[in-house]
Amino acid sequence: MASSDDEVEFGPTSVSNYYFEDEMDQPVSFSVLPIQWSENESPIGDKRRVSLRGAADKGLQTIHKDVTAWKFDLNNAIPEISVLSKEKIWIKLLKPRKSFEETIRTILITVHCLSYGKRNPEASGKSFWDHLSRTFSLYEVRPSQNDLLDHMDLISEALKRDDSLAKSKFLVTFLEEKPRKKKISDQDIQTTTTSAFIVDDTEDVMDDVANEDESDKDDLFDSACAFCDNGGELLCCEGRCLRSFHPIAEDADNSCETLHLTREEVDAIHNYLCKNCEYKQHQCYACGKLGSSDKDKGAEVFSCASATCGHFYHPLCISKLLFWDDEAAAENLQKSIVQGGSFTCPLHKCYVCKGGENMMDSELQFALCRRCPKAYHRKCLPRKIAFEGEEEKGLITRAWEGLLPNKRILIYCLKHEIIDELGTPSRDHIKFPRTEEEKTVVEGSKKKQKLELPSCKEKVGSMKSNPTSKDSFQGKSAVKTLPRFSAMKHGEIMKKSGKLSAVSDSSSKVKTADASKSSLKKNMKSVPVGVDRSSKLVANKTSLGERLFAYVKETEHIKLGKRDTPDSELTKTVTVTAASKKLSTELPSLDADSERRLLALMEDAASSITLEDVKKKHRMPSTHAHSLKTYVDRTIKLGRVEGSVEAVQTAIRKLEEENSSIEDAKAVCQPEVLDQIFKWKNKLRVYLSPFLYGMRYTSFGRHFTKVDKLQDIVDRLHWYVQDGDMIVDFCCGANDFSCLMKKKLEATGKKCFYKNYDIMPAKNDFNFEKRDWLTVRPGELAPGSQLIMGLNPPFGVKAALADLFINKALEFNPKLLILIVPPETERLDIKKPPYDLVWEEEQFLSGKSFYLPGSVDENDKQMDQWNLVSPPLSLWSRHDWTAKHKAIAEKNGHINREHEGSNLEKNSNETRIIDQHMEDDSGQYGDTSMLTDLPLQINEAEKLRHIATKGHKESSPVSDSDKQNTNDYRKNQSSKDTRKREHHNKNRGSEMSRKSAVDEQSGGRRTGMEISSGTPHHSPTNVISGRSSAEGHPSKSIEMPSMSHFEPSTSRSHMQSGTACGEIQSSIRGETGLVSGISSKSPADEQSGGRHPGREIQFGNPHRRSPANVIDSRSSAEVRPSRSIEMPSVVDNGRQHFEPSMSGSHRSAYGGTQASFSDDMELRLSMNNSDSYSAFRYNGGVNVGEQFTARGRDNGDSLGYRPYISDIERESDVRSQFGYYGQEPAGSDPIFGQLGSLPSTNYGHIGSATAAPYRMNTSVMQRYAPQLHDLNPPMTHRFEPPPPMGGTNDLYDARAPPIPGYQADPFANTPGPHYPYPPPGSSGWLDD
Amino acid sequence: MESTAQTESAAFKEKVRRTVYLDNLSPHVTESVLKTALNQFGTVKSVEFIPNYTESKNIPLCALVEMEHVKQAKAVIAALGEFPFMMSGMPRPVRARPAEVEMFDDRPKPDRIIRCCWLNPNDPAFEVAQKLKQMVRQHAAEASFVLKNQLEEEEKLAKQQRDSLKANYKKYELIDGIIGDGTAQRLVRRYGMKVLDN
């Protein structure tokens, strides 16, 4: 027992590596114990059996004791916590066991918080959290209010008992604000509430989507500090040196020199350019001397060609290094380098075996010396260069893995002596071109105390880390010295680079930063208080009137403060204003004092709003969660891009001109770099899309489905709806769908429920709930068997958002899902449980099926929108409902089948009439586009071209085997034509007249053209058509008009292209091109020629297929509005479903597309788009692009014909064509008859659903598609998008001269149309 | 007479409630842009730009937009407050808040008669007037100082944004340069690798 007595009396008074256990041996926080506030009080709280385990006596003794109470002592700088053992001995707790930290995290933070509050009663919330996160820097999650919330009682009790604590403003307000804070912080943590959790989840997903390749990307470039060769939070230079630095002195351990910046400065820096890159003075990596690298002013040092290298060399130095044994070669190289020749430095060849690097083979990975240009293969690494952990062999560690990218090894070769304290060679290897001023700054800052701050960004494995133990007093003094430095540094930076951020960084708010102001600002907290007190004194002495006066002023000032800084903390502003006002009462004008005061005021207001607060307030909906900004800014550095681009160029030159080996090329440009470039481009494109695609991005970048399209969908969908179903539109936009649906269903006697969600308020609030769809929970909606949900979700990059929305929808097990989602969306038949496809219409929504709400074009009309690849409309059924739905689909002809519809003609008749009607009624979009078009006509030259083109159009209806039908049909057709023609003429009066004038000019030539081109063109057609009719496929097709457009081309290149143009009809086209080339003389032709090589378009449409007819009949009865007018997509639909109501000519254009576009044309298009394009970019560009992208049908037209008409809606197009034909004496019928059948071939195939031609179609279209984009970007600058950032649009001007191939951005359109919500990029901008 | 005045004033008050005050507008914003932009939240009845007399410089314009219903006005304010709303490609969000009576030029003026007179320096009111005058001046000076600072800041911000846009655009152009002319693709082929380039 004696021994145990000993233990009691002399037992340990402190314990480390400790943890607590309860009866169940579960770890438990000591805070469950009763707390003893003071010695003469007994512990308060429930008694629980808790035992303490740990090590005492410097680990020599293990402890296992039952404890009964705990207490804390705040009198020291570091709070002490002790527990009372059963033996009534207080045991001080030192360091907890690592695994136990999480358990006592909250109580530790709370106690530290109290301690800090006791010592710093004036401290603001920010400094509290700064302090705490410094103290608990090792915790993965930063301390937050959440940690305190568990111990509110403790805090309030402590405040009651300790007067000095009660003075802590932060703690007091914290207690008062408790309820609100609690909510916020819950959300912050994003674990407590379900909705937050979901959002969190979403963000992760988004991150995954956007960052999928980010993990490997950073790896390409150096990510170790250039000073100390260690990882951590680094600032990457934007320039060619490709280096990174530890920016913040306090952050760096191991006595890294660092850039001596403050946190604020770093936050403010957007693009850091190191001094070397800024002054273009780089060190030679061989000799270490600085030299100019400015190629414009006679460079002394030149950079290595390798994309990821970033080292510079004197020509002499590098020549000697590379050809140390061959003087002549060295001299040659030296000369060539001076003349701009490229070289790769010795770092890209093994010093021993001279072999190249191969990242995939661990033996062939490189070890690079960080001090001189020397590299080894892993296998060739000298033994004396030892890895960490091999010290026992008496070797100094010289090699580290995991610090350099590409699995490279960081070494210091044997030339460099390792300094023990540093673990590296001496660190004088970096020379910046320095100015006097900087030197003082640097020296001064060297004296600063070093604080350790947690490094949170760009974590890189840091192996040599040697955390400085932190002392809070040190911290304080360092803080005091900081403002000076920051002020100086600040001014300097502003002068030189002007890159300070004014938004979030408080210190940058002061424009004319001198030391005193800066420090004033830093000490804001105390200054206002001081002033406040003095003003009170003054106020007490003055008369009542005086005070009233002051009061008036005060209120005035409050207003002022409010106006300037709407979100400022009102109370604070008031005090400060009142106080300072008092002091300056008698000032007639603004002196320095009041200026400073105002500045301080602004400063204070500004600092009360942090970017984080704003972000918190603007919680992004799931669709906006991700921003590319950080990625673009932090990773895609200009220097890296330049280097990579040059490397690619060098590599290809080496390969193609110098016949170097692939390995040499790879030394210059690793395949990974190349890969990276493509990824970068995609990122940048998304990021910059608001600027690349300009005006489209008014408002929130949503896109809505047009009402007429919705009506079509409703007409289809309503068959599947049963009485009592609930229809959910999860992204309802303008909320038209539900309204239409309701109308329709009520008309058919079904009563249903509706739910509509969107994150923006909808114009029509019918059953609308403003809510993020992803936060809707199961149970809030009707049971799945009554649920019909879907429609047009935001797509997101690679349909990521669409997937999210659908997955969410699937949680409700709806019986039906109707979706407008991009093709790349994950199909529902591979989900779990899988859904069955009832039908899918790929072209239903092609063309201008969408519009951009809130955005107007230059004519103040609602902007239409299109998709490059139109999103299919699809209907998915839950498995147990599939049979039923399929039956409905079958019954209503929604599934494509061959039908022999005898009543075809009748139906189409009806349809047409209705269409006509609709045209008038629903003219909204038509009109819009018409108006849009007007500006088109402005450009004379362009019109000339158009007209010339127009001249070469022919069309012919196709007759197929079913002659009777054809005849009937044609009758219908012609009557309709007439109507349309009239209509058209009315609309386009002005254009027509102008056209005719031009016609006169160019008429002669045109006629000739027609003749010459027509003949060869027709004959093959006929042959084909013969075949097709023999096959009998198009039996039901009534009309197959085809058109051909010939465009004269003047330049030789055009002729060439004309020749090469068609795959199928190349010979014909060649002729055409030739003919036109010779005959054309007019300027108009010259212009147009470049772009429009001779081309033919043929089409035939078997669209009058029976299923279509069936539908048609139905639809006509139902009044199906505008489908026929818009004629969107029918052609592609051909595969599954033809729509009868389309007029043949539209279709026909489509056929032409497939046949006529070839690569050559693409090429030419992209290269020639200078004058002629710019002429109509303004108005036509959009539409041209759109037509191509979206609608096969229009392709034919658009090239030849569209441009002038370009903006006229599809139907007007049609009309115009008819009008044109009508005018032509040669007229429709004869030629129609002739040509008609060619298309039928194509369509015959299509109809039979083998879709061979169709596929061809697609591919051609796809090939073609990229070029459409060539048209689009120019549009951007023609639009003169408002100067993006409140100023010049020189940016756009830069694009004006078309660089060949410049516009080749294949999916230029994609970001726009594809993402209904702003693509990540745009939110990135918002973040600015 | 009085009742008409009353109904008028009531109608005006109603109008004020229906109206949204927008500022930070881009100079490119026109009435139709505004209308269309806000039409997605409701029906815009009228748009009135508030002329800016204070500065000759291009300070963002403000406008009063009258919606059809109070509810819609609230929706607009909520939506614009919640998400950064950009108009005409302006990368700075438009701000919205409820209109106030004082913002309207055509508001019914109260029947207050303002009389001016000279004051004797001995008059006790003289000192008060003097102080008020001084105060007004001071406020004006302060306001313009603050405004100046704000402008500088905004310009700096705009410049910074422009710079970073330019920088990023330059990167894009550089990359586009080699991808556009096929260099990169040729190298890809040489290397025999596959690159995802959409």
Of A589, A602, A665, the CB nearest to B146: A602
Q: Which two tokens stand for residue A520?
A: 């004033």
- On whether residue B61 sits in a domain, the answer given is yes
Q: Which residue has the higher pLDDT, A865 or B135?
A: B135
Contact A511 B166 (CB under 8 A): no
Give the one of A632, A699, A1299 whose C-beta lies nearest to B86's C-beta.
Answer: A699
Tell the burial category of A1026 from Cβ atoms under 10 Å away from its Cβ (0-12, 13-18, 19+). Answer: middle
Residues on chain A touching B178 (C-beta within 8 angstroms): 645, 648-649, 677
In the structure, what pLDDT confidence band is assigned to residue B139 with cuts at 50, 70 and 90?
A: confident
Q: Which residues of B touch A584 (CB under 8 A)?
A: 138
Residue B60 within a domain: yes
For residues B98 and B38, state if they share a domain: yes
What's the mean pLDDT when you consider all of chain B?
Answer: 81
Q: What is the mean pLDDT of residues A980-997?
A: 40
pLDDT score, position B92: 67
Picking from A594, A1285, A1301, the nearest residue to B158 by CB comes out as A1285
Q: Mean pLDDT, to the nearest integer, of A365-382?
A: 88
Q: What is the mean pLDDT of residues A881-893?
A: 85
Assigned domain for B162 exists = yes
Can you give the pLDDT at residue A989?
37
B75 touches A at CB < 8 Å: yes
| Under 8 Å between Cβ of A301 and A282 | yes
- Asked if the model's pLDDT at residue A415 lies above 70, the reply is yes
Residue B120 lies in a domain: no
Q: Verify that B75 and B144 share a domain, yes or no.
A: no
User: Mean pLDDT across the stretch A497-519?
Assistant: 36
The number of C-beta contacts closer than 8 angstroms across A and B is 265
- Would you say how long chain A is, in residues? 1328
Q: Using an 8 Å Cβ cutoff, are B60 and B96 in contact? A: no
**What part of B 12-51 touches A (C-beta under 8 Å)?**
26-28, 30, 32-33, 36-43
Residues B47 and B85 in one domain: yes
Tokens of A551: 């009061």
Does residue A1275 sit in helix, strand or coil? helix
pLDDT higher at A1297 or A44: A44
Confidence band of A196 (pLDDT split at 50, 70, 90): very low
Domain annotation covers residue B116: no
Each residue of A320-352: pLDDT tens digit? Answer: 888 888 888 888 888 888 888 888 888 888 888
Residue A87 Cα, gap to closest chain B Cα (Å): 60
**Shortest alpha-carbon distance between residue B81 and chain A (Å):** 8
Instruction: Assess whether B175 and B141 both reside in one domain.
Output: yes
pLDDT of residue A554: 47
* A691 chain-B contacts, CB cut-off 8 A: 89, 165, 169
User: By CB neighbour count within 10 A (0-12 exposed, 13-18 middle, 19+ buried), where does A1248 fall?
Assistant: middle
Same domain, B80 and B171: no
Interstrand relation of A366-369 and A235-236 (parallel, antiparallel or unpaired): unpaired
**Closest partner CB to A761 (pick from B43, B79, B172):** B79
DSSP secondary structure code for residue A621 in this structure: P
Residues of B in contact with A765 (CB under 8 A): 71
Of residues A1318 and B29, which shows the higher confidence score? Answer: B29
Distance between B75 CA and the closest CA of chain A, angstroms? 6
Question: A856, B150: Cβ pair inside 8 Å?
Answer: no
Instruction: Judge whether B89 is closer than 8 Å to chain A, CB to CB.
Output: yes
| Record: contact B88-A862, CB cut-off 8 A | no
> Is B169 in contact with A1291 (Cβ distance < 8 A)?
yes
Both tokens assigned to B42: 């409701």
The verdict on a CB contact (< 8 Å) between B149 and A1291 is no
pTM here is 0.46
Place of tokens 């674990």: A191
Same domain, B6 and B94: yes
- B166 and B130 share one domain: yes
B194 within a domain of the structure (yes/no):
no
Q: Is the CB of residue B133 less than 8 Å away from at least one CB of chain A?
A: no
Could you tell me if A972 and A1124 are in contact, meaning their C-beta atoms sit under 8 angstroms apart? Answer: no
A576 contacts on B by Cβ (under 8 Å): none
One domain for residues B171 and B129: yes
Which residues share a beta bridge with A35?
A44, A70
Average pLDDT of the segment spanning A439-458: 40
Domain holding B92, by residue range, is 2-103
Closest CA of chain A from B5, distance in Å: 31
Contact A687 B87 (CB under 8 A): no
Nearest chain A residue to B83, by CA: A618
Q: Which of A671, A687, A1282 sits opposite B26 (nearest CB)?
A: A1282
- The answer, for B148 touching chain A at a CB cutoff of 8 Å, is no
* Number of compact structural domains in chain B: 2
Q: Do A674 and B193 touch (CB under 8 A)?
A: yes
Exposed/middle/buried for residue A1281 (C-beta within 10 Å: 0-12, 13-18, 19+):
buried
Residues A678, B184: C-beta atoms closer than 8 Å: yes
Give the pLDDT confidence of B83-131 residue by residue, as tens digits. Answer: 777 776 555 678 888 998 888 877 777 777 888 888 888 888 898 988 9
DSSP string, A658-716: S---HHHHHHHS-HHHHHHHHHHHHHHHHHHHHHHSGGGGSTT---EE-HHHHHHHHHH
**Mean of all residue pLDDT scores within chain A:** 59
For the stretch A117-120, contacts whose Cβ atoms lie closer than 8 Å and that sit 24 or more positions apart, written own/partner, are A117/A165, A117/A168, A117/A170, A117/A171, A118/A74, A118/A162, A118/A164, A118/A165, A118/A168, A119/A77, A120/A168
Here the tokens at position A950 are 């127009």
Flag if A684 and B137 touch (Cβ within 8 Å).
no
Q: What is the pLDDT of residue A423?
A: 78
Same domain, yes or no: B15 and B66: yes
Structure confidence at residue B154 (pLDDT):
78
Q: How does pLDDT run across A749-791, given as a tens digit for each residue?
A: 888 888 888 877 777 778 888 788 888 887 788 888 888 888 8
Residue of B nearest to A238 (CA): B167
* pLDDT value of residue A172: 78
> Is B188 part of any domain?
no
Indicate the residue of A588, A621, A675 with minimum beta-carbon distance to B134.
A588
B135 lies in the same domain as B94: no
pLDDT at A913: 35
Q: What is the ipTM of this complex?
A: 0.71
Are A874 and A717 in contact by the 8 Å Cβ rule? The answer is no
Residues of chain B found within 8 Å of residue A636, distances taken between Cβ atoms:
168, 171
Mutate to test the interface with A, among B28, B29, B40 (most CBs of A within 10 A): B40
Q: Is A973 left (phi over 0), alpha (psi -120 to 50) or beta?
A: alpha
- Chain segment A911-940, per-residue pLDDT in tens: 333 333 333 333 333 333 333 333 333 333
User: Which CATH number is B27's domain given?
Assistant: 3.30.70.330
At residue A890, does pLDDT exceed 80? yes
- Which residue reads 């010396």 in tokens? A369
Binned at pLDDT 50, 70 and 90, residue A700 comes out as low
Share of chain A above pLDDT 70, in %: 45
* Interface mutation target, options B72, B156, B159, B194, chain A, most CBs of A under 10 Å: B156
Residue B98 lies in a domain: yes
User: Quick one: B96 and B172 in the same domain?
Assistant: no
Between B161 and A1083, residue with greater pLDDT:
B161
Same domain, B6 and B98: yes
Cα gap A1205→A268, rounded to integer Å? 50
d(CA A241, CA A302): 11
3-state secondary structure of A65: strand
pLDDT digits 0-9 by tens, A1093-1107: 333 333 333 333 333
